[in-house]
Amino acid sequence: MAARMLGQQLSILFNQPFVVDNKPGANGTIGVMDLLRSPPDGHTLLIGSNSPLATNFALLKVMPYDPRRDFTPIVGFGETMHVLMVRPNFPAKNLAEFVAYVKQRPGKISAGVTTSSTEVQIATLNQLSGMDLLPVPYKGIPATITDVMGGTLDVTLVDLANAMAQAKGGNLRPLAVTSMKRNALVPDWPSIAETFPGYDFPSWVGLVGPAGMAKAMVDRINVATAQVLKQPAMAEKLATMGMTPMPMQPDQFKTFIDAELVKWVRLAKDANVQPQ
């Protein structure tokens, strides 16, 4: 969604088409490798979340790429969060009841994990709460939503935009958000940190290119993206996705990614999540 919104606006500013090509799978690695096989001429870019741009570094034993070396950071785009969600008739009505329910059924309550980021989030929640949620790998959030609704999966972490839509439609029920504080869009949804202090897992999206892009091209795309993010209409659209703008200069974005790499290595180690 972020890619299509940005691509539409950049098409206007650059007077040329920006084609969005979804490349799901392997925690974003498939999309990353397509990017890295492309020339660094600015014609192939990647909008990626923190999973392929940072978190994979902590969770993949054999990394086919190095985020510190193989990307040209261009600009941060937006920040969001996940929401812990269950089916509407799930016996637990809030996070405290959910924790108690899961503790009575160790290893029997399944949790969908769709990225390296959500894997660490579930593992950390297990550690802080004393639960034993059973992580079940999925290729994407839509599949977990379908299975939670159908009852073959008990709980999943859903991005805020999807979470708001599913809650509004009565398909899923939110228990808590993964960021430290509540989100103004859904102020009635508590944060996990209110029950388990220190739990803080915001998610973010940014734009990168292959290593070796010319500075002039990087700066041109950065300025254009920053211009897009300043538009009130864009801020409103991002809000409907549960996302806030996160504009950064290229050097700032590189420093941010480097810090995220260190952070996720620490979080994975603290949660006892072993690289695979």
**Please, where in the chain does CATH 3.40.190.150 lie?**
2-79+202-270
Q: What percent of the chain has pLDDT over 70?
A: 100
Q: Across the strands, what pairs with 64?
A: none
Residue 242 confidence (pLDDT)? 84
The structure's pTM equals: 0.83
Residue 1 confidence (pLDDT)? 83
Residue 76 confidence (pLDDT)? 96
The answer to whether 241 touches 164, Cβ cutoff 8 Å, is no
Token duo for residue 30: 């498939």
Alpha-carbon span 85 to 36, nearest angstrom: 35
Alpha-carbon span 85 to 220, nearest angstrom: 40
State the DSSP string of 218-272. HHHHHHHHHHHHT-HHHHHHHHHTT-EE----HHHHHHHHHHHHHHHHHHHHHTT
Question: Of 1.10.10.10, 3.40.190.10, 3.20.20.70, 1.10.10.60, which CATH number belongs to 82-194?
Answer: 3.40.190.10
State the DSSP string of 159-219. EHHHHHHHHHTTS-EEEEESSSS--TTSTTS-BGGGTSTT----EEEEEEEETT--HHHHH
Query: For tokens 């290119």, what's the residue?
Result: 209
- Rounded to an integer, the average pLDDT of 90-116 is 96
**Please, where in the chain does CATH 3.40.190.10 lie?**
82-194
- Rounded to an integer, the average pLDDT of 115-135 is 93
Q: What is the pLDDT of residues 175-210, one digit of tens each?
A: 999 999 998 889 999 999 999 999 999 899 999 999
User: Residue 157, Cα to own-chain centre: how many angstroms?
Assistant: 10
The yes-or-no verdict on residue 122 having pLDDT over 90 is: yes
The yes-or-no verdict on residue 24 having pLDDT over 90 is: no
Residue 240 confidence (pLDDT)? 83
Q: What percent of the chain has pLDDT over 90?
A: 83
The better pLDDT of the pair 241, 162 is held by 162
Residue 275 confidence (pLDDT)? 81
Does domain 2-79+202-270 sit in CATH 3.40.190.150? yes
pLDDT category of residue 222 using cuts at 50, 70 and 90: very high
- Rounded to an integer, the average pLDDT of 268-275 is 86
